[in-house]
Amino acid sequence: MSKIAFLLSAKTQRILKWIHITCVTFSTGGLLSILTLQILKRQLGADENLFLIDLSVFHLFNTAVNYSFYGIIFTGLLYSLFTKWGFVKHYWIIFKWTAVLILFVMIWIWIGPAINGSAALADGKFFFEGARSQYLDYSRQGFLFNTVGMVVFFVLILVSVIKPWGQRKPLFQIKRKTTLIIVATLTVFALLSLSMQSISLSRYRSMRIADSDLSPLRDGIYFGKSTMGGFTYRVEVEVTNHKIENIKILSNRESPYARFAEGVIPRIKRKNNANVDTITGATTTSKCLMKAVENALEQK
């Protein structure tokens, strides 16, 4: 048993290191696969091919890259907390955590929105004016920051292998117990926030939309609404000869994804039914708009 409290055994450290390496492999491989698909997309012009590629990129990013990146952060926290390395004892570790923070910001602010936005626009068949221009902007943004992300990942791997900078002379010492308490508190808070958000979104995304029966409806205009997270989505549905003639969105959130979700409206009109496939990358708002249309068509 180690003389220093809260340190992992050598065997446990090896297991943790291999889990960490596996997560790095999945993240790097996922980003490399996405980059390859993005290069392929530049060579193709058909909309069907664009969406298939964007859908593949969307699933790769939101599964392999996202979850493995969270694994990198979590295993890195454990390794820094429960081994001799710490967070700020060595310059190369400080560099690694700084680079990870930069990657997190890039994924959250630039790479994720670009990938999700591209998938949503392609799935919605570029239904609104300016959609193709925005799609091209997202494609360029995703390609650029994904390339930068790959470079950062390879630099991180190189630094981990050669450990180029030595130990830092600390100006002050923080007790291990204090560090544990701070990190544990922040981790629990982050996990609770993510869990609550995930549960809330899952509830709306799994919301059942009934098939619409327009046979009892007379010609006219019907209003429907649905509420999510304190915001109420409102629609106006015009029915003629038991068919949906037109749908106007009276109230929608001020968000790019909310705008992209409006691509579900042409599907509802074509199928003459509120129960249609959602827009990839804008599932939650799509469901809320579908529910608003369903509620409008349920009026007798």
Helix (H, G, I), strand (E, B) or coil at 232: strand
pLDDT at 5: 58
Report the distance separating Cα 130 and Cα 136, nearest Å: 10
**Tell me, what's the pLDDT at 1?**
40
User: Domain extents for the chain?
Assistant: 10-173, 220-297
pTM for the model stands at 0.87
Residue range 10-173, CATH number: 1.20.120
pLDDT by residue (tens digit) across 30-63? 999 999 998 888 787 655 578 889 999 999 999 9
Q: Would you say the CATH fold of 220-297 matches that of 10-173?
A: no
How confident is the model over 221-238, as pLDDT tens digits? 999 999 988 899 999 999
pLDDT of residue 300: 57
Classified by CATH at the fold level, domain 220-297 comes out as Sufe protein. Chain: A (3.90.1010)
pLDDT interval class at 2 (50, 70, 90): very low
Task: Determine the pLDDT at residue 188.
Answer: 84
Q: Which amino acid is at 94?
A: I
Helices (H) and strands (E) in the chain, counts: 10, 3
pLDDT at residue 245 is higher than 70: yes
Residue 98 has pLDDT above 50, yes or no: yes
User: Exposed/middle/buried for 161, CB within 10 Å: 0-12, 13-18, 19+?
Assistant: exposed
Beta strand 220-228 pairing with 243-251: unpaired
Rounded Cα distance between 110 and 105, Å, is: 8
The pLDDT of residue 166: 81
